[in-house]
Amino acid sequence: MSDMKVLKIQSDVDLLSAIFSMQDEGRIEEDLLTASLNQDLDNLVQTIRQYLGMDVAFLSRFHHDQREMLHLDKNDRCGTILKKGHTDHSNATYCRMIADEKLPNIIPDTSKNSITKNLAMTKMLDIGSYIGVPIYLSDNKIYGTLCCFSAQANDDLSSKDLSILILFAKFAARNIEKDLQASKIQQAARDDIFDIINNKQLTIFFQPIYDFKRKCIKGFECLARFQTEPYRSPDYWFNQANVSGVGEALELFAIEEALSLLPDIPERYYITLNVSPKHLASPYLQSMLDKAPLHRIILEVTEREAISDYNVFRSAIEPFRKRGMRLAVDDAGAGFASFQHILELQADIIKLDRSLIANINSDHRKRALVAALIGFAKETKSNVLGEGVETLAELEVLQELGAQKIQGYFFCHPLPLNEVLDFCNKQSV
């Protein structure tokens, strides 16, 4: 078996491990996405406890025959063993019995109720008085309960208090359903993404990059294309992956697929790979780059995402740049972040966004801005590439202003590898 095949197999193993790891990381990010809803429920539980003057208030859910505490608030003097995440067998709890209407919603004195006075839970949690209501979702299923209790009996608990608790339970149900719906959507998106990865429904297309000075094609931008039904654009799938917490998995898969084709591309061409700044420190990406011929790779950092710490970013990429990898700032001119990227990253290539290129031949403001960026690039020894060139007039202005490279539909659409190599051969002839 050749060294290249060994590296490819090991890369597949590494990426597979990464993907399964990222499934768990996606769940962590899902928790972050619902943090605001959880904070609302924490506040709701605290408010109802303080309003009723009880020792403890909690929101629980019934899950696999267990009663689980999701949100809990207690006064400073309370010594209860309960805390968030605490679970009990649900049938032994006040919550389940109230939901099953075996106990009344209000129990002013647990020692006087024929059921609660003998319950182990009464003694274990030191429950003297109790008030609780089920939480119903929109399909009338019981999700859990919203309850309060104190160590002392409380004859002041009233139907008015019960009405307030029912109202709070309805508010809680609304937030819980938002959370459940968001989780359901995110899980469906994750499933779709991992189906794409597992079934290899992603193909790499290549768009030629033309060099004005050398009058030839020097490289290709690698672009992901998805074979799904119905068809969805690459932006759609990468956005879905990001919002569902598995953006790194999909991005790494696309990069791995592109790198696997590099041995089939003649040595005279380089490839450019798009990477999100937040994924640059990924150990799986670093592992792939460690094995790659970096003198043939340009890493494109999009301005669509901010870089929180440029020093950390530069430190992470410096070892690869020392080994010959070049850095490009993508989408320059599409927003403020790109100019900061240009200043901070000392990129080898500045890629002008299509929004600057479109109709540059008839828009003096765009022409002035592009001229300024090209002047800046000359001072910093960077090259300028015009993206999305669609007309001869746009190309001529870029050449006149001093841009070194172009890519776009006017020259060539993105193509599968065999077709783009045929195109290059015809251009050479």
Q: Are residues 168 and 213 in the same domain?
A: no
Give the Cα separation of 258 and 274 in Å (integer).
10
Confidence of residue 304 (pLDDT cuts 50, 70, 90): low
415 lies in some domain: yes
pLDDT at 16 (0 to 100): 41
Model pLDDT for residues 73-120, shown as the tens digit of each residue: 999 888 888 899 999 998 989 999 999 999 999 999 999 999 999 999
- The rounded Cα 296 to chain-centroid distance in angstroms is 29
Q: Domain containing 173 — which CATH number?
A: 3.30.450.40
Res. 130: pLDDT tops 50 = yes
CATH number at residue 252: 3.20.20.450
* Domain co-membership, 228 together with 288: yes
If asked whether residues 171 and 249 sit together in one domain, one would say no
Average pLDDT over residues 240-261: 94
Is 275 strand, coil or helix? strand
Contacts of 237 (CB under 8 A, 6+ apart): 193, 196, 224, 226, 228, 250
| Residue listed under structure tokens 């009405």 | 163
Report how far residue 72's alpha carbon sits from residue 147's, in angstroms, rounded to the nearest whole number: 10
* Domain shared by 370 and 329, yes or no: yes
Instruction: Say if residue 222 is in the same domain as residue 334.
Output: yes
Is the pLDDT at 421 greater than 90? The verdict is yes
Structural domain includes residue 188: no
In DSSP notation, 114-181 reads: TTGGG-HHHHHHT-SEEEEEEEE-TTS-EEEEEEEEESS--TT--HHHHHHHHHHHHHHHHHHHHHHH
User: pLDDT band at residue 239, thresholds of 50, 70 and 90?
Assistant: very high
Considering 183, 217, 246, which residue would you say is the last residue of a domain? 183
The predicted pLDDT at position 260 comes to 96
Residue that is last in its domain, among 130, 154, 183: 183
The pLDDT value given to residue 429: 55
What integer pLDDT is reported at residue 36 of this predicted model? Answer: 66
Q: Which of 157, 183, 209 is the last residue of a domain?
A: 183
Q: What is the pLDDT of residue 367?
A: 95
The answer to whether the CB of 151 falls within 8 A of the CB of 128 is: yes
Give the mean pLDDT of the chain. 88
374: pLDDT strictly greater than 70? yes
Query: Predicted confidence band at 303 (pLDDT cuts at 50, 70, 90)?
Result: low
Q: pLDDT tens digit string along 377-386? A: 999 899 999 9
Query: pLDDT at position 86, please?
Result: 92
Please tell me whether residues 20 and 163 are part of one structural domain. Answer: no
414 and 338 in a common domain: yes
Residues 143 and 207 reside in one and the same domain: no
Segment 229-235 shows an average pLDDT of 92
Judge whether 388 and 357 are in contact, CB under 8 Å: yes
419 shares a domain with 330: yes
Q: Name which residue leads in pLDDT, 11 or 309.
A: 309
User: Residue 3 burial (CB < 10 Å; 0-12/13-18/19+)?
Assistant: exposed
Mark whether 25 and 41 lie in a shared domain: no
Q: How far apart are the first and last CA of the chain?
A: 36
Count of domains observed in the chain: 2
Domain range enclosing 21: 3-29+200-428
Q: Check whether 33 has a pLDDT greater than 80.
A: no
pLDDT (tens digit per residue) in 42-74: 999 999 999 999 999 999 999 999 999 999 999
- Tell me the pLDDT tens digit for each residue of 163-188: 999 999 999 999 999 888 888 888 99
| 197-201, 308-312, 391-395: least confidently modelled range | 308-312
In the DSSP assignment, the letter for residue 217 is E
Residues 237 and 66: their CA atoms lie apart, in Å, by 37
What's the token pair of residue 153? Answer: 């009996």
Is the same domain home to 14 and 60? no
Q: Are residues 132 and 256 in the same domain?
A: no
Average pLDDT over residues 205-233: 95
Looking at the chain, the whole-number percentage of residues with pLDDT higher than 90 is: 72
Alpha-carbon distance 333 to 304, whole Å? 11
pLDDT category at 357 given cuts 50, 70, 90 is very high
What is each CA distance from 21 to 202, 285, 293, in whole angstroms?
20, 14, 27
Residue 191 lies in a domain: no
Q: What is the token pair recorded at 225?
A: 């294309």
Decide if 193 is inside a domain: no
Flag whether pLDDT at 332 surpasses 90.
no
Query: Is 51 a domain residue?
Result: yes
| CA-based torsion, 166, 172, 174, 177: positive or negative | negative
